């Protein structure tokens, strides 16, 4: 009988944004016959949050912040002696790679890059030494996982990470869960069209641009309404902007929602307004559900994904004016509640020449990306 690979999925906490959802999907989707699965929660003290299967062992380290979790994490890895670690967020990746010399020699380190590096660095808001950390630490990884070829090329060019270390592995999407979602349509204000946006309330998500675009759209379609699913530090500023624009009754800030699927039946149009992105799961889920989509050209991967798909409108740039123009074009072209069949095979990029996950029978690498209950986009 083939020995199972002990795999540790590493994340700050369960619940929250796309990176956390990807980790939960992997934990539910990777075969327990092939993997001895562990999830380490660096900043979470208990197991509350995203439910995980009984075969997944959860370790809640309870650190106050990620960098304070170094010693508990080191003790855990030295005790478990896993064959591989998969870390899913940049600041956690830095910690894992700093600790790498102290891990068991047989432990392979996979880090998932969840942003387009050049855009994130140019946008600002990161510590001045972030670029240096990327350049010093990422070459220590056994694999760096990107969600698109555009993202991988950006990483290699911006940080001079060797292409042999980079693997392209699109995010998993729970198509079955989306198809089974039968929640009644959410309550919407206005007669429509009903716009839906999902994401953390932070500057890079461009919700200020979307609110200004909505103000323009309502001049032509007075019933247009927007629901934003997400929480974050920009909520007060965004609500103030709604009042300034006179659209506060047309915008619903619904807070964080673990499963946005219940909003899909009442949605006319999904909007991605981000200034920069990697490959957001919210977009993949909306596309899988057949929702019409308007998106800013926030990453090369997003452009590659949508430019040939039916029912998708790409704005010319990430500005309020460009978003408003694409929204108006889409609204005028769409029939009420129109949905689109999309061939997911068309979204698959050429196979990467490097392995995405380590195989139990080939610990130095092998093409083993089986997520049995999931379908990969």
For the segment 157-202, what is each residue's pLDDT rounded down to a tens digit? 888 888 888 998 888 887 777 777 655 566 666 678 999 999 999 9
Span of 18-22, 157-161, 178-182, 310-314 with lowest mean pLDDT? 178-182
Q: Is 35 helix (H, G, I), strand (E, B) or coil?
A: strand
Q: Residue 225 in contact with residue 250, Cβ under 8 Å?
A: yes
Query: What digits encode the pLDDT tens for the residues 117-141?
Result: 888 888 767 788 888 888 889 999 9
Output 293 or 183, whichever has higher pLDDT. Answer: 293
Q: CA 187, CA 181: separation in Å to the nearest integer?
A: 16
The CA distances from residue 257 to 21, 71, 183, 200, 261, in Å, are: 12, 33, 13, 11, 9
Q: In the structure, what pLDDT confidence band is assigned to residue 85 with cuts at 50, 70 and 90?
A: very high
Mean predicted confidence (pLDDT) in 260-275: 90
Spatial separation of the C-alpha atoms in residues 192 and 185, rounded to whole Å: 13
Q: Is the pLDDT of residue 21 over 90?
A: no
Q: What is the pLDDT of residues 332-361, one digit of tens each?
A: 999 988 999 886 543 443 333 333 343 333
List the CATH code of the domain at 177-333.
3.40.50.2000
Q: Supply the pLDDT for residue 205.
A: 94
Q: What angle do CA 338, 193, 325 make, to 5 degrees?
A: 95
pLDDT of residue 78 exceeding 90, the answer is yes
Name which residue leads in pLDDT, 90 or 311. 311
Six token digits for residue 300: 């090369």
Q: Is pLDDT at 226 greater than 90 in this prediction?
A: yes
Instruction: Return the CATH number of 5-170+349-376, one of 3.40.50.2000, 1.10.3720.10, 1.10.10.10, 3.40.50.300.
Output: 3.40.50.2000
pLDDT band at 308 (very low <50, low <70, confident <90, very high): confident
Q: Write down the pLDDT at residue 150.
A: 85
Mean pLDDT of 99-114: 93
Rounded distance between C-alpha atoms, residue 41 and residue 217, angstroms:
43
Q: What is the mean pLDDT of residues 248-254?
A: 94
User: Is the whole model's pTM more than 0.75, yes or no?
Assistant: yes
Smallest Cα–Cα separation from 107: which of 139, 71, 143, 161? 143
DSSP element (H, E) containing 70: helix 70-80
Higher pLDDT, 219 or 299: 219
Q: What integer pLDDT is reported at residue 131 of this predicted model?
A: 87
Kindly list the domain boundaries of the chain, sorted by start residue. 5-170+349-376, 177-333
User: How high does pLDDT run on average in the chain?
Assistant: 83
């Amino acid at each position: 009988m083939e020995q199972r690979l002990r795999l540790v999925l590493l994340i700050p906490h369960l619940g929250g944004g796309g990176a956390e959802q990807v980790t939960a999907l992997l934990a539910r989707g990777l075969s327990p016959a092939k993997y001895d699965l562990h999830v380490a929660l660096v900043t979470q003290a208990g197991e509350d949050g995203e439910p995980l299967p009984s075969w997944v062992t959860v370790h809640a380290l309870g650190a106050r912040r990620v960098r304070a979790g170094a010693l508990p994490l080191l003790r855990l890895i030295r005790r478990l002696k896993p064959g591989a670690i998969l870390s899913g967020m940049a600041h956690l990746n830095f910690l894992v790679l700093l600790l790498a010399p102290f891990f068991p020699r047989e432990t392979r380190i996979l880090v998932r890059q969840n942003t387009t590096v050049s855009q994130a660095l140019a946008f600002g808001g990161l510590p001045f030494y972030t670029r240096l950390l990327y350049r010093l630490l990422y070459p220590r990884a056994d694999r760096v996982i990107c969600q698109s070829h555009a993202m991988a090329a950006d990483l290699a060019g911006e940080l001079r990470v060797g292409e042999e270390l980079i693997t392209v592995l699109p995010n998993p999407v729970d198509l079955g869960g989306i198809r089974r979602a039968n929640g009644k349509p959410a309550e919407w204000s206005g007669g429509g069209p009903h716009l839906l946006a999902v994401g953390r309330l932070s500057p890079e998500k461009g919700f200020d641009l979307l609110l200004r675009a909505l103000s323009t759209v309502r001049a032509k379609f007075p019933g247009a309404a927007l629901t934003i699913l997400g929480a974050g530090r920009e909520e007060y500023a965004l609500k103030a902007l709604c009042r300034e624009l006179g659209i506060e009754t047309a915008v619903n800030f619904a807070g964080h929602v673990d499963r946005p699927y219940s909003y899909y039946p009442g949605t006319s149009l999904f909007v991605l307004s981000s200034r920069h992105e990697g490959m957001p799961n919210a977009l993949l889920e909306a596309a899988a559900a057949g929702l019409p989509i308007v998106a800013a050209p926030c990453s090369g991967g997003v452009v590659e994904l949508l430019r040939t798909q039916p029912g998708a409108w790409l704005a010319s740039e990430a500005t309020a004016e460009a978003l408003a123009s694409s929204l108006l074009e889409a609204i005028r072209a769409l029939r009420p509640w129109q949905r689109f069949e999309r061939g997911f095979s068309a979204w698959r990029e050429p196979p990467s020449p490097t392995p995405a996950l380590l195989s139990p029978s080939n610990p130095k690498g092998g093409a083993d990306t089986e997520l049995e209950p999931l379908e990969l986009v």
